[in-house]
């Protein structure tokens, strides 16, 4: 996501700065339109990863281009340091902050990913990731690929929202509460809540393949982006070390199942994830040394979750391979 702040001993996430909507129903000044916007993401960031996966599953690549900020940044914000000349080839900017300042002169809030940028003006339209992932599923339907899954089935929306809220507070944000705690008591409170929630999720997933219903929903995407980063970053770097993910049999199998599902593992670059967490959070890792491990080859091993049934894409179909220029390195 990006910038964060702490209050007293507890970690508090900064409010989002440009909370607009992109809609097809006329409810906002920003209409859904093919080619009008560019999604700026980062391979390292779990919040951005949620939107990248959603875009992949819905097949929006031809109508919504994507820029990838590099894993390293400084106080000036996310930077396109992996692109030729350190500049996004479509937006022509080096730092994402430029797009925020075009939208809001004197912008003084967090410069975060994901961000939707209007290509013609170079202005950030929104960085409201929760609304964006819902709107991509429900407002962009005319531009979905044939066979796109329903990630927000109407009959399960209340349940998806409830589980997602628990996952956000205790897991997605919970690992950050552990990592950026400024006091022992705050750390232990977040640690206990994190692993209590993981235990509850493990129990739930022991008898069903996905979190809600028998298909992949947005709830699975929200949980998975934290699980896939757990051993590479949160276990050691954020002191979330009761167990590794690989030592939690149900969640490890669930995470592998999704990793091997088109649209999930093909968005993950473990090298960039580690470069970001260990290279940017200097208050936690002042040496900037990036660990060599863990071994990630296990992500491709059999998971056995098919025995629980379920239809990954419901009545839909898997997405095709990632477009040229969006592939991630294969696991080694």
The domain locations on the chain are 5-143, 154-308
Here the tokens at position 283 are 């208050």
Strands 73-74 and 30-31, by their bridges, are unpaired
Q: Are 170 and 189 in contact (CB under 8 A)?
A: no
Fold adopted by 154-308 = Glutathione S-transferase Yfyf (Class Pi); Chain A, domain 2 (1.20.1050)
For the domain made up of 5-143, the CATH class stated in words is alpha beta
Beta-ladder partners of 112: none
β-bridge partners, 42? 69
Name the active-site residue from 176, 191, 210, 234: 176
> Using an 8 Å Cβ cutoff, are 43 and 273 in contact?
yes
Task: Determine the pLDDT at residue 14.
Answer: 58
112 backbone φψ class: left, alpha, beta (φ>0; ψ -120 to 50): beta
Same fold for the domain at 5-143 and the one at 154-308?
no
Structure tokens at 67: 């820029």
What DSSP string describes 1-25? ----EEETTEEEPPPPS-B--EESS
Residue 176 a catalytic site member = yes
Looking at the DSSP assignment, which residues form a beta bridge with residue 38? 65, 117
Tens-place pLDDT, residues 138-186: 999 999 999 999 999 999 999 999 999 999 999 999 999 999 999 999 9
For residue 86 the two structure tokens come to 């350190």
Task: Kindly name the residue from 37, 45, 129, 254 that is annotated as catalytic.
Answer: 45
- Residue 3: Cβ within 10 Å count: 15
Peptide bond before 310: cis, by omega within 30 degrees of 0? Answer: no
CA 312 to chain centroid, in Å, comes to 19
Determine which helix (DSSP H) or strand (DSSP E) holds 176, and give its type and residue range. helix 174-179
Per-residue pLDDT tens listing for the chain (332 residues): 654 444 567 766 555 568 899 999 999 999 999 999 999 999 999 999 999 999 999 999 999 999 999 999 887 889 999 999 999 999 999 999 999 999 999 998 889 999 999 999 999 999 999 999 999 999 999 999 999 999 999 999 999 999 999 999 999 999 999 999 999 999 999 999 999 999 999 999 999 999 999 999 999 999 999 999 999 999 999 999 999 999 999 999 999 999 999 999 999 999 999 999 999 999 999 999 999 999 999 999 999 999 999 999 999 999 999 999 999 999 87
- CA angle at residue 163 from 161 to 164, to 5 degrees? 60
């Amino acid at each position: 996501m990006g910038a964060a702040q702490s209050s007293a001993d507890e970690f508090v996430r900064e409010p989002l700065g440009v909370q607009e909507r992109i809609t097809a129903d006329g409810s906002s000044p920003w209409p859904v339109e093919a080619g009008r916007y560019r999604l700026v993401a980062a391979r390292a960031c779990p919040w951005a990863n949620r939107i990248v996966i959603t875009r992949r599953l819905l097949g929006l690549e031809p109508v919504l281009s994507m820029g990838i900020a590099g894993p390293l940044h400084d106080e000036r914000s996310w930077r396109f340091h992996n692109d030729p000349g350190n500049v996004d080839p479509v937006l022509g900017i080096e730092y994402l902050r430029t797009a925020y300042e075009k939208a809001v002169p004197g912008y003084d809030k967090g410069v975060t990913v994901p961000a939707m940028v209007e290509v013609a003006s170079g202005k950030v339209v929104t960085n409201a990731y929760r609304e964006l992932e819902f709107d991509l599923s429900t407002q962009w339907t005319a531009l979905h690929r044939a066979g796109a899954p329903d990630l927000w089935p109407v009959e399960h929306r209340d349940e998806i929202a409830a589980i997602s809220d628990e996952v956000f507070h205790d897991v997605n944000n919970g690992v950050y509460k552990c990592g950026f705690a400024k006091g022992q008591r705050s750390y232990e409170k977040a640690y206990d809540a994190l692993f209590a929630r993981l235990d509850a999720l493990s129990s739930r997933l022991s008898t069903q393949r996905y979190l809600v219903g028998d298909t992949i929903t947005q709830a699975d995407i929200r949980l998975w982006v934290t699980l896939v980063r757990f051993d590479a970053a949160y276990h050691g770097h954020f002191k979330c070390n009761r167990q590794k993910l690989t030592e939690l049999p149900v969640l490890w199998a669930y995470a592998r199942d999704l990793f091997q599902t088109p649209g999930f593992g093909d968005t993950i670059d473990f090298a960039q994830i580690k470069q970001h967490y260990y290279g940017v959070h200097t208050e936690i890792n002042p040496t900037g040394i990036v660990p060599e491990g863990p071994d990630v080859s296990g992500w491709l091993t059999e998971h056995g979750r098919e025995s629980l049934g379920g239809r990954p894409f419901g009545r839909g179909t898997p997405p095709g391979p990632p477009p040229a220029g969006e592939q991630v390195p294969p696991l080694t």
